[in-house]
Chain A
Amino acid sequence: MFKKILVANRGEIACRIIRACREMGIGSLAVYSEADRASLHVQLADEAICIGPPAAVESYLNMDRIIETARASGAEAIHPGYGFLAENPEFARRCERAGVIFIGPNSRALELVGDKIRARQTMEKSGIPIIPGMKHVAADFAEYATEAGKIGYPVMIKASAGGGGKGMRIVCSEEELRPGLESGQREARAAFGDESVYLEKYIEDPRHVEFQVLADNYGHIVHLFERECSIQRRHQKIVEETPSQALNPELRRRMGETARKVLAVSGYNNAGTVEFLLDRNKTFYFLEVNARLQVEHPVTELTTGVDLVQQQIRIASGEKLSLKQEDLAQRGHAVECRIYAEDPSRNFLPSSGRILFLREPKGPGVRHDGGIYGGWDVPIYYDPILAKLIVWAETRDSACARMAAALDDYVILGISTTIPFLKDVISHPQFREGATTTGFIKNYFENWQEKEGPLDGLTLALAAAALDELSPSERAGKAGGLKKEVHSPWQMLGRWRIGEKL
């Protein structure tokens, strides 16, 4: 087993990996950009090294710097988390050359599945169903226009190296194609360092169902069932759950076997996720392989009891997979909500700034994977994900109720977050029925505004603020690092005579 792992990421996922390392008795080395000196992952890790300026291309995407840091500090392996270098075959190759183990698939498999276009070609050859569309990157605009015409509008622009909705655009007419391509390519280049995009038929209102798969270095592959990730905004998932309401045991078995086959034909090892679109007739299409740990991996962990990050590390260190397909089972129901620094009432506009106060929800079956703390400034440079709230319960109904209660108990002050929006999503009758499709947000939550607060809420909030205004000296004392006694407001209100007006 490794003695030290470099975690080439930031935020909640870096914290998640550092915790896994700690539990396994492995040293953790965090890397950070100049904008992240105060970030939580730096505080949690055993060691931390600055790798460059805030812009990701100069820090978290700086391959040579990261590999050199691993070598110089004696880290035998690099865990890339998700995003950044997680699915970059060039990075995996450079790690292999430098003798540092990349905790993820081998570079050849990564190259194949990471290149969405080649993956589509390979899958089609192996008899795996794919969505109609381009199987190559076009040379120029004219070719895109021709291809779009052939596929038929609406078409979807997708980043060849992509994921997470970056670079993705729906184009409804030829007029929208050029600006869509330009902005898609620009976003793809910024996110992945590769601007290749391709076009695919846009399937309306499908479900997004993915299968978690683990493969060791010796050809042993198991799947850990599905995750339903249909609730998306801007093609980015915000609520995920397992099991999916759309699958029956037979369909689950068929999709699971297809997922294993996808990894087998790709020569894939380590953790991966096979994404499928499921249309209204329950026909499924291979979408892509996410060759990394997924943001939503905790729902699988809670229902299967398998620690996916620890499995990744074991597989990468050369251990054989100890899990057998026939032993794996789903138990209960898990739901995840992604907490983003975004303003849901302003079209999910990013909301950076200082988290003035944080209280995470607690209780039975509640898990909080966060990369934040009260007093931390959310930087503008990176993905707006702050944390993930995950709950487990015996049934879907009780999991939804538990999630609603946990969201109600979650306090983040100072910046806008998706919490109030998620609360309404979880409570929506269509969601409760399990009628989730990728069009859910668009269909039911266009121009969403936060609901009125509780009865007497404003009155009590005003009273609290007024009492707070009465104690400026105490605040000053706190800011100066002095620990003062907390007073009863009587003492403060008592300074004024009853009935006195200012």
Chain B
Amino acid sequence: MEFEFTVDGVRQTIALDRKDDRICIQHGDKTLEAQVRVISPEAISFLVGGRSFLLFIARDKEKRYVWLNGCTYILQSGKEEQPLAERGDDRSQKGKSVVTAPMPGKVVKVNVTEKEAVRKNQTLAIVEAMKMENEIKSPLEGFVRKIYVSPGDLVDSEKPLLELEAKA
């Protein structure tokens, strides 16, 4: 059977087929034969040509975290593109007019007012999480259309902080 996952923004297709007492894994032009044993709901053991691999798996909705030899892979199920912001990609902020916090936290300061003109990379607000202050910079040059938060508000990484309009 075939499965699709998105890893680091790249779609990956993998096919698993049973072959005698093994599983045949096909991934791109690579084929591996593995003897598999499910150790627990979180652990799975592969023996590939005598090499032993122990993998740990955790699930969070459509996301799976898979750990192998000190490396963690984040796999998004299905054909859904993982949003850039969730992958920590700064491109997600480029040219975007709705500014969100990069992590959950508390708004400690809003540095701009509505209708104010802003430069690119100007500090718009300060969000504090785990006692560290993080400056939220403007992704564009333009002006502040709307401010949704005030100091003391708790925000998550999806809640809009403010909305900008790019300079025409």
Interface residues on B, range: 35 or more
Of the listed stretches B15-23, B114-122, B139-147, name the one at the interface; the rest are far from the partner chain. B15-23
- Residues of B contacting A433 with CB < 8 Å? none
- Judge if B94 is at the interface, Cβ distance under 8 Å: no
- Judge if B84 is at the interface, Cβ distance under 8 Å: no
Q: How far is the CB of B165 from chain A (nearest CB, A)?
A: 26
Per the 8 Å Cβ criterion, residues 211-247 of A in contact with B are 234
Per the 8 Å Cβ criterion, residues 280-301 of A in contact with B are none
Determine if A460 and B68 form an interchain contact, defined as CB atoms under 8 angstroms apart.
Answer: yes
- Residues of B contacting A454 with CB < 8 Å? 68-69, 71
CB-based nearest B residue for A404: B70
Per the 8 Å Cβ criterion, residues 396-416 of A in contact with B are 407-411, 413-414
CB-based nearest B residue for A459: B27
Q: How far is the CB of A187 from chain B (nearest CB, A)?
A: 6
Tell me the complex Cα distance, A487–B39, Å: 9
Tell me the complex Cα distance, A384–B134, Å: 14
Known: A464-B66, A468-B59. A166 touches B23 (CB 8 A): no
Determine if A458 and B65 form an interchain contact, defined as CB atoms under 8 angstroms apart.
Answer: no
* Interface-centre pick from B3, B5, B46, B48 (highest chain A CB count, 10 A): B3
Per the 8 Å Cβ criterion, residues 21-52 of B in contact with A are 21, 23, 25, 27, 30, 32, 34, 36-42, 44, 46, 48
- Judge if B150 is at the interface, Cβ distance under 8 Å: no
- Judge if A500 is at the interface, Cβ distance under 8 Å: yes
Determine if B16 and A493 form an interchain contact, defined as CB atoms under 8 angstroms apart.
Answer: yes
CB-based nearest B residue for A502: B1
- Residues of B contacting A142 with CB < 8 Å? none
A345, A487, A493: the one within 8 Å of B18 (CB): A493
Give me 15 A-to-B residue pairs in the complex whose CB atoms sit less than 8 angstroms apart, sorted by A's number: A346-B102, A349-B103, A349-B134, A408-B69, A411-B56, A453-B68, A456-B32, A457-B73, A461-B7, A462-B27, A463-B27, A466-B5, A488-B38, A494-B18, A501-B2
Additional A-B contacts beyond A350-B134, A460-B55, A498-B18 (17; CB < 8 A): A349-B102, A350-B132, A357-B67, A381-B130, A384-B130, A420-B72, A453-B69, A458-B12, A459-B27, A459-B32, A460-B25, A460-B48, A460-B53, A461-B66, A462-B75, A463-B27, A499-B17
Q: What 8 A-B pairs have minimum CB-CB distances, sorted nearest first?
A: A356-B58, A453-B71, A413-B58, A461-B66, A413-B65, A466-B3, A384-B130, A350-B130
